[in-house]
């Protein structure tokens, strides 16, 4: 998966796995927390993303545990996954930086002349120091 076509869901899943291996439910909660609740993955969507990331070699199965008769699988990032996440984060940061710069330039260009910042002036003589 190239950085250009990484979905938001895939980006957050990779981010959720960046610090430690996690299982399905752990990824869901971590994605919700990382995105301040904006991204709430459904289970069907999560496993579609996990399939794709596994197929692309960005994540692998770390280990399996059986709890109360049910299977829990933990996933972790591969080196390619770390590189892809890093590249995507760089790309997003560059985009955000460019947007910030343009906004600042736009504000300066449209600011009225009388509110434009002026150079500091020296203390007036009229008041005197006497």
Among 7, 105, 106, 111, binds other proteins (CB under 8 A): 7
Q: Does 84 bind other proteins (CB under 8 A)?
A: no
Q: Does 45 bind other proteins (CB under 8 A)?
A: yes
Among 32, 60, 73, 80, binds other proteins (CB under 8 A): 73
d(CA 92, CA 77): 20
Q: Does 123 bind other proteins (CB under 8 A)?
A: no
Q: Does 35 bind other proteins (CB under 8 A)?
A: no
Residues 6 or more apart whose CB falls under 8 angstroms from that of 43 comprise: 24, 28
Q: Does 42 bind other proteins (CB under 8 A)?
A: yes
The sheet that has 22-23: what strands, in order across it?
22-23, 70-77, 59-67
Shortest CB 66 distance to other proteins, Å: 9
Half-sphere exposure of 98 (CA within 13 A, CB side): 6
Binding span for other proteins by CB under 8 A among 11-19, 20-28, 97-105, 112-120:
20-28
Q: Does 70 bind other proteins (CB under 8 A)?
A: yes
d(CA 14, CA 99): 25
d(CA 55, CA 24): 17
């Amino acid at each position: 998966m190239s950085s250009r076509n990484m979905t938001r869901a895939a980006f957050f899943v990779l981010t959720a796995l960046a610090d430690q291996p996690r299982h399905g439910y752990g990824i869901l909660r971590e994605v919700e927390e990382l995105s301040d609740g904006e991204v709430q993955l459904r289970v069907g969507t999560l496993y579609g993303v996990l399939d794709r990331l596994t197929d692309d070699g960005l994540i692998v199965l770390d280990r399996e545990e059986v709890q109360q008769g049910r299977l829990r699988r933990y996933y972790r990032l591969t080196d390619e996954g770390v590189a892809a996440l890093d590249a995507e984060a760089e790309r997003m940061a560059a985009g955000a930086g460019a947007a910030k710069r343009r906004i600042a330039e736009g504000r300066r260009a449209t600011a009225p002349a009388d509110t434009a910042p002026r150079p500091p002036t020296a203390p007036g003589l009229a008041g005197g120091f006497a």
